[in-house]
Amino acid sequence: MYEKMFNVALGSIAALTLLSAPTFAAGKKTKVDTPVISCGDSTQTSINIQVCAPSGTGATGDPAGFSLQWETVADFLANNGWYLSEDDRLCKGSFSGNANLSRYNLAPGECVTVDVGEFLFDNGASTNCLGELTCGTSYVFHAFNHATSKLNRSDFTGDLSCSTLACDSDVSCTLSQGYWKTHNPLVCDVDPESPLCVQWPVSNLELGAQSYTVTQLLSILNTPAQGNGLVALAHQLIAAKLNIANGADPTDAAASIAAADVLIGSMFIPPVGADFLKPSLTSALTTALTAYNEGASGPGHCQ
């Protein structure tokens, strides 16, 4: 319903938002070209947004990176457009192309995917909205490319509506790594009455050939991946094993868990250790386990 209302409302809100596509008119270029964004895969708690630098004659990439903004379609309609930039209700993510080893310095025609609701906090990425998205909810997105030393920032893209997957109330359900990071036994030591005080179903877990305590597991979950595929994989592996120990059906994750344990082997995961794996070696398993934890596969995400 909201998506239909959103599409109708765009006609009357167009004056408030810039819907122009990148053009390559003759004359001196003063702005970076506008990026192109599209909806990717969704889970019950996250949405993949693909951001591409324009391609073609005269196109410039976004070597300085880009910014992405989002809010629910319901809020967009109620507010008759976007919240102001300084409004805390507007979610914003910055993806700098200038950071060391950043993957956001795109050449013309190149694309990158960001997972809104389950961000990989690698080099250059930051956001004011750390939480998961809401299941069964439509969101609206737009983006702009950052200014460079020679060109001003681009115009905003048009407004793009994407949705999370429908809510699933299956009793054998999963929770994201973000949930397990914030809901844990260490909170209970400080405030037993806190809603974040949750006793985990295990007191330790094996990741690869090594065993980790709850305190060590939380230190791993709180460590940004920063280009280390081992850390990104560990985040999802911890969540998957906690979900299964908590009663979730393991069928769709079993093969990925076994493969992840073999790949990790005897390595020690930062910050407990200092081992490293290239993201190219871990990305497929990380993606598969993320899908299980967030409800895109397996029994579905808990409510």
Q: How confident is the model at residue 13 (pLDDT cuts 50, 70, 90)?
A: very low
Q: How confident is the model at residue 10 (pLDDT cuts 50, 70, 90)?
A: low
Query: What pTM was estimated for this model as a whole?
Result: 0.60
Q: How confident is the model at residue 252 (pLDDT cuts 50, 70, 90)?
A: very high
Rounded Cα gap, residues 213 and 200, in angstroms: 11
| Amino acid, single-letter form, for residue 8 | V
HSE, side-chain direction, 13 A CA sphere, residue 133: 31
- Comparing C-alpha atoms, which of 281, 268, 174, 263 is closest to residue 227? 281
- Encoding tokens for residue 67? 């910014």
Q: What are the structural domains, with CATH classification, of the chain?
A: 2-163 (2.60.40.10), 177-294 (no CATH)
Q: How confident is the model at residue 167 (pLDDT cuts 50, 70, 90)?
A: confident
pLDDT at 303: 65
Mean pLDDT estimate for the chain: 87
Mean pLDDT of 18-33: 60
Each residue of 186-235: pLDDT tens digit?
999 999 888 889 999 999 999 999 999 999 999 999 999 989 999 999 99
Rounded Cα gap, residues 293 and 209, in angstroms: 22
User: Distance between terminal CA atoms of the chain?
Assistant: 21
pLDDT at 42: 85
Rounded Cα gap, residues 268 and 286, in angstroms: 17
pLDDT at 142: 98
Q: How confident is the model at residue 165 (pLDDT cuts 50, 70, 90)?
A: confident
Q: What is the CA radius of gyration of the chain?
A: 21
pLDDT at 28: 78
**Per-residue pLDDT at 2 exceeds 60:** no
Distances (CA, A) of 67 to 64, 94, 176: 10, 4, 25
Each residue of 46-104: pLDDT tens digit?
899 999 998 876 677 778 999 999 999 999 999 999 999 999 999 999 999 988 888 99
Distances (CA, A) of 262 to 233, 258, 270: 12, 6, 17
- Between residues 13 and 84, the one the model is more confident about: 84
Q: How confident is the model at residue 257 (pLDDT cuts 50, 70, 90)?
A: very high
Rounded Cα gap, residues 41 and 125, in angstroms: 20
pLDDT at 1: 52
DSSP code per residue over 16-30: GS--PPP---SS---
The set of residues, in sequence order, having a beta carbon less than 8 Å from that of 74 and lying 6+ positions away, is 2, 137, 138
Cis peptide before 271, with omega less than 30 degrees from 0?
yes
Q: Where are the alpha helices (DSSP H) in 88-176?
A: none
